[in-house]
């Protein structure tokens, strides 16, 4: 069977299974999820052995250390994978929820029912835990899924697939509800994203290059974010006590996450009092500061110990550094801050630090990003922190789901009408 036929077979099977999963009871889905968790714990040794084979092959292929770290599955990793499945089982089932029912003058009652999307394709890199996490979220939201993990994790993913299928079997749900692509042929991705008859939505998780390619070639809607170029704006009326802790947390807690702040905007009247303290904290942590002309002059004059001050280029305002580097710009005030963010941001997450109510509300309303915050660290942009229980990713799309995507983002709403023989006049 060639790859086209193979992927279309998976697609056909997924579409058929999606009907059964959409109609499955909450109890059956939860039974499957908890049985998957037990199976994963039971097969801990086999999972780690399979991961060992993947790691050996990856080392032999000269894969870099960062990718080896992501690929590695420890005993603790196996346990947290199992615990993640049980956490999803404990979440409320979004499917079938009826809301907004209104009586219409014609006599009908019109409302909405939350329904699964159908078949979800997940494309991700060599992180074994994503296989279990994605399977759980798709299943709980009533969807079938086709999972395409990085080829470096193929042995481990096959073992996880065995556990997932055992769990589905224990709940008498069709095994083709969750299918793991069982080939390392890269053409599988190209097929998966061009089967709109079988796949309703694609969720890519991975590097920017992967996501950009999938977005541009997909014939199926894609829930994605490309970049996390997040901003913090220090307003003229910022509470001085809040500035350093928020910037420190947003920039330095983790350099490599998408909700890390990359650009700091400072209102000109606040700059002189606020910026040196911020820069001292950044300097102490070894964070390079790429500064506009005004902030460069101000911070150079402040003579902060160990400060790495660099003149910012136009590219720096666009950049997601994912590193101990931050861009700093002094702006005239709220209007320029909002304009800068809407021009340069990747529409992920932005925060204002201010005590001024009107400025806070304008910032919330006018900044066009998936998460907008007042007096809080951008690091909070996360499904768990928002109370979604789990997340499949963070979307910077403007339609359907923006920001952290949990179970609700993997569903849609249809209209339902309760009548008693009404006809339209």
Give the footprint of its own copies on residues 310-339 (CB under 8 A): 339
> The tokens of 29 are what?
């889905």
H-assigned helices in 174-321: 187-192, 208-217, 240-252, 268-284, 293-302, 314-318
State the angle between helix axes of 44-60 and 154-170 in degrees (0 to 180), rounded to the nearest 10.
160
> The tokens of 130 are what?
């994503």
The CB density around residue 112, as the number of other CB atoms within 10 Å, is 15
90 interacts with its own copies by CB under 8 A: no
What is the distance between the alpha carbons of residues 144 and 201, in angstroms, rounded to a whole number?
11
What is the distance between the alpha carbons of residues 173 and 63, in angstroms, rounded to a whole number?
38
245 interacts with its own copies by CB under 8 A: yes
- What single DSSP character describes residue 320? -
State the angle between helix axes of 44-60 and 26-42 in degrees (0 to 180), rounded to the nearest 10.
70
> The tokens of 12 are what?
């056909």
Shortest Å distance, C-beta 342 to its own copies:
6
Report the residue number, 75 or 422, with the smaller CB distance to its own copies.
422
Query: Containing H/E element for 179?
Result: strand 178-180
Report the residue number, 63 or 322, with the smaller CB distance to its own copies.
322
Binding test (CB under 8 A) with its own copies, winner from 118, 149, 393, 406: 118
Q: Please choose, from the candidates 347, 335, 288, the residue with its C-alpha nearest in 3D space to the C-alpha of residue 312.
A: 288
Shortest Å distance, C-beta 117 to its own copies:
5
386 interacts with its own copies by CB under 8 A: yes
> The tokens of 137 are what?
């979220």
Q: How many residues bind its own copies (CB under 8 A)?
A: 71
Shortest Å distance, C-beta 64 to its own copies:
28
Shortest Å distance, C-beta 12 to its own copies:
12
The CB density around residue 87, as the number of other CB atoms within 10 Å, is 17
State the angle between helix axes of 154-170 and 26-42 in degrees (0 to 180), rounded to the nearest 10.
130
> The tokens of 62 are what?
């000269």
Shortest Å distance, C-beta 155 to its own copies:
34
207 interacts with its own copies by CB under 8 A: no
Report the residue number, 108 or 310, with the smaller CB distance to its own copies.
108
253 interacts with its own copies by CB under 8 A: yes
Give the footprint of its own copies on residues 342-381 (CB under 8 A): 342, 351, 362, 364-366, 368-377, 379-381
Give the footprint of its own copies on residues 94-113 (CB under 8 A): 96, 102, 104, 106, 108, 110, 113
117 interacts with its own copies by CB under 8 A: yes
Shortest Å distance, C-beta 337 to its own copies:
13
Binding test (CB under 8 A) with its own copies, winner from 27, 186, 208, 400: 400
Stretch of 72-80, 204-212, 310-318, 382-390 lying at the interface with its own copies (CB under 8 A): 382-390
307 interacts with its own copies by CB under 8 A: no
What is the distance between the alpha carbons of residues 371 and 354, in angstroms, rounded to a whole number?
17
Q: What is the C-alpha radius of gyration for the chain, rounded to an integer number of angstroms?
A: 24
Tallying the residues shown for the chain, one arrives at 425
Shortest Å distance, C-beta 22 to its own copies:
7
Q: How far is CA 270 from CA 261, 265, 305, 330, 374, in A?
A: 19, 10, 21, 9, 17
Binding test (CB under 8 A) with its own copies, winner from 42, 56, 239, 301: 239
Shortest Å distance, C-beta 364 to its own copies:
5
Give the footprint of its own copies on residues 7-26 (CB under 8 A): 19, 22-23
- Show the CA angle centred on residue 142, arms to residues 206 and 96, nearest 5°: 130
Stretch of 40-48, 50-58, 246-254, 268-276 lying at the interface with its own copies (CB under 8 A): 246-254
Stretch of 124-132, 267-275, 313-321, 399-407 lying at the interface with its own copies (CB under 8 A): 399-407
Report the residue number, 52 or 111, with the smaller CB distance to its own copies.
111
């Amino acid at each position: 069977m060639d790859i086209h036929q193979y992927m279309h077979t998976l697609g056909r099977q997924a579409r058929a299974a999606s009907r059964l999963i959409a109609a499955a009871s909450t109890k059956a889905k939860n039974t499957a999820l908890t049985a998957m968790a037990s199976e994963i714990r039971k097969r801990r040794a086999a999972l780690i052995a399979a991961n060992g084979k993947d790691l050996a092959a990856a080392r032999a292929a000269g894969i870099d250390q960062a990718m080896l770290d992501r690929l590695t599955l420890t005993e603790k990793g196996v346990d947290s994978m199992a615990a993640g499945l049980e956490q999803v089982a404990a979440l409320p089932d979004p499917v079938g929820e009826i809301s907004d029912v209104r009586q219409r003058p014609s006599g009908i009652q019109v409302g909405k029912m939350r329904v699964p999307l159908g078949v979800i394709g997940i494309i991700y890199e060599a992180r074994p835990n994503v296989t279990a996490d994605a399977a759980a979220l798709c299943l709980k939201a009533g969807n079938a899924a086709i999972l395409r993990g990085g080829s470096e994790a193929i042995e481990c993913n096959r073992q996880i697939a065995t556990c997932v299928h055992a769990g589905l079997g224990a709940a008498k749900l069709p095994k083709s509800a969750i299918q793991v692509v069982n080939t390392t042929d890269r053409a599988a991705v190209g097929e998966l994203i061009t089967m709109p008859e079988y796949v309703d939505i694609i969720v890519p998780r991975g590097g920017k290059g992967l996501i950009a390619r999938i977005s541009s070639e997909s014939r199926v809607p894609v829930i994605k974010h490309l970049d996390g170029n997040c901003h913090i704006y220090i307003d003229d009326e910022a509470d001085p006590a809040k500035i350093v802790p928020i910037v420190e947390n947003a920039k330095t807690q983790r350099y490599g996450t998408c909700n890390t702040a990359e650009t700091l905007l400072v209102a000109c009247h606040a700059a002189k009092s606020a910026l040196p303290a911020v820069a001292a904290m950044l300097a102490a942590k070894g964070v390079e500061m790429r500064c506009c002309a005004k902030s460069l002059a101000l911070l150079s004059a402040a003579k902060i110990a160990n400060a790495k001050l660099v003149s910012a280029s136009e590219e720096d305002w666009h950049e997601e550094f994912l590193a101990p580097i931050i861009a700093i710009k002094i702006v005239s005030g709220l209007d320029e801050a909002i304009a800068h963010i809407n021009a340069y941001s990747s529409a992920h997450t932005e925060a204002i630090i201010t005590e001024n109510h009107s400025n806070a509300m304008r910032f919330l309303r006018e900044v066009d990003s998936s998460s907008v915050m007042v007096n809080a660290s951008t690091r909070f942009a996360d499904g768990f922190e928002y109370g979604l229980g789990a997340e499949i990713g963070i979307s910077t799309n403007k339609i359907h789901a923006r920001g952290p995507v949990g179970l609700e983002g993997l569903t849609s709403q249809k209209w339902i009408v309760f009548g008693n023989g009404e006809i339209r006049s």
